Amino acid sequence: MGLALAFLALTFATPAAAQPVANFDWFEYRGEDSVDRASQPAAGEYRNPILQGFYPDPSVTRVGKDFYLVTSTFSYFPGIPVFHSRDLVSWTQIGNAIDRPEQLDFKQLGLSRGVFAPTIQAKAGIFYILNTCVDCGGNFLVTAKNPAGPWSDPIWLPELEGGIDPSLFFDTDGKTWILNNGPPEGKPEYEGHRAIWIQQFDLAARKPIGPRKVLVNGGVDFSKKPIWIEGPHIFKKDGYYYLSCAEGGTAEGHSQVILRSKSVTGPFEANPANPILTQRGLPGDRTDPITSAGHAQLVTTPDGKWWATFLAVRPYAGDFYSTGRETFLLPVRWENGWPRITDPGQVIPWVATRPALPPQPAPPVPTSGGFTVRDEFDGAKLPPYWMMLRNPRSNWFALSDGRLSLTARPVGLGDNANPSFLGRRQQHRNAAAETVVRFTPEKDGDRAGIAVLQNDDYWFFLGLKQVGGKLALVLDRRDGTDSAAAGETVAAVEASAYGIGPGRPLALRIEVRGNRYVFSYARVLGSPDVPMLAWRPLTRLTTDSLTTKVAGGFVGSTFGVFAGSAER
């Protein structure tokens, strides 16, 4: 069986005995923010965000009564989660479009490279995802008859070289068009000067044809030097072609703008009341702010109502957030021939009226509000929300006997590679992750435990580690490119002093409240069914280092399990 199928079915062989193996009995994530209790949705209402945690750049499409949504995952694998809903509120992940290592190669790219801003559309029983693999191949298309997969290998689109954010538009005359963000004609006149391009697309041949044309140069008002016009989508209504784009970058100046034309190839006129969605310019000291809103896509319900999914963030203070960019939902209303999502100065509501669609059951894995998710590792495969850093190069994890096993390899969390790390997203500002590990190191540097990671340069590891021939409980940290890739130990105790021995079960917990972290452990007496002893903090600290503001990039924090070894 090839590596791809092995990953999907988790039928990897038992990790090689030549390297130590860490066994994890279970993993529990829980989170609840103050707004979750303060803004409880009543009957007929829903809560924003609809997908909490690192789910940026949402693209949504409808086929009959079914909605499908995809988001960016950058250099995480598997990539491009695919969600399904029938009410735009209750979403269930049904697969990942990039789930075979040979589809794309993320090499040793930074964690915020890889797959950017996918779009999903469907026609005549075929689903299409367009995407850009930044620094790993360029623009591509994958197709599927079932959105749950399998998805095809990439069909590369070299004609879009230098561009990102491709999308398709199926016109009523049978023609298909491809849009993308790309460099402007000639030399850029300022930093962030980009353009929106269009070209006809041969759907049967899977390639662009004919001349390319610029639809928007720079943005809606070139005199103001608008930055990063991107994420283009075209839809048709009442004889007009509407071009919807993000503008202003992905930080607090983010927004959504709209233009229209009687021809798909323009010229396009800008809505005089742009932007149609933004949170810039609002008071920075407002309670529980939602900021950086943009990258929207509009969709209609079967009864003709309009809605928009978009990204925004929930900082715990200022522009500091570790949960990443998340997926939100709001209704769209039409005024004087133009769509509008938020009014000038309007804050995005935490709770709003649900779409007039039959409410669906709560998803098996919650995606919004306060919740707990516990993985017992007793199935044949991991749930699809588990991810690793970049493509797997070997068989280093397995599920058996109700445990997850990781081979401790000489690949660290800071190596820009594929360490023995499996993680899930941090989905709340106030959250906790717990696990039970059993590990017997063989030499100095062997380690296993729990980690919270923002990217290769910013992370914490809490777990067992052999140091100077003795077993220790340590907290290791990497805090930027100036620190060693292996991190540095910021707290440690000799394990035997607390009755912690090799191979014995040890409970580990990482708690976060905004930027305050607590790293704790507890002995487990006997089997996993026996209650643990009281939690004992190893250390507490306050840091903003796991935020996008400090660490840079486009991802959010993930909690997960990790095993590593010294060079052998």
Structure confidence by residue, pLDDT tens digits, 460-509: 999 999 999 999 999 999 999 999 999 999 999 999 988 899 999 999 99
- Tell me the whole-structure pTM to 2 decimals: 0.95
pLDDT category of residue 568 using cuts at 50, 70 and 90: low
Q: What is the pLDDT of residues 142-152, one digit of tens each?
A: 999 999 999 99
pLDDT higher than threshold 50 for residue 8: no
pLDDT higher than threshold 90 for residue 108: yes
* Residue 285 bears catalytic tag: no
The full set of domains in the chain, from first to last, is 3-11+370-564 (2.60.120.200), 57-353 (2.115.10.20)
- pLDDT at position 533: 77
DSSP annotation of 158: G
Average pLDDT taken over every residue of the chain: 94
What is the biggest distance separating any 2 CA atoms in the chain, rounded to whole angstroms?
77
* Residue 494 bears catalytic tag: no
What would the mean pLDDT of 285-296 be, rounded to a whole number?
A: 95
- pLDDT at position 13: 39
DSSP annotation of 358: P
Kindly provide the b/e burial profile for residues 327-356, where b requires at least 16 CB atoms within 10 angstroms of the residue's own CB. Answer: bbbbbbeeeeebbbbbeeeebbebebebbe
Q: How buried is residue 502: exposed, middle or buried, by Cβ count under 10 Å (0-12/13-18/19+)?
A: middle
- pLDDT at position 268: 98
| Strand 291-300 to 306-313 pairing | antiparallel
Considering the candidates 36, 230, 434, 479, report the single residue annotated as catalytic. 230
Considering the candidates 57, 252, 446, 479, report the single residue annotated as catalytic. 57
Q: What is the pLDDT of residues 307-342, one digit of tens each?
A: 999 999 999 999 999 999 999 999 999 999 999 999
What Å distances lie between residue 276 and 12, 455, 536, CA to CA? 49, 33, 50
What share of the chain has pLDDT > 90, as a percent? 93
Chain Cα centroid distance, residue 303:
31
187 token code pair? 């030399």
- pLDDT at position 7: 41
Amino acid at 11: T
pLDDT category of residue 531 using cuts at 50, 70 and 90: low
Chain Cα centroid distance, residue 401:
30
pLDDT higher than threshold 60 for residue 64: yes
The per-type count for the chain, helices as H runs and strands as E runs, is 3, 39
pLDDT category of residue 132 using cuts at 50, 70 and 90: very high
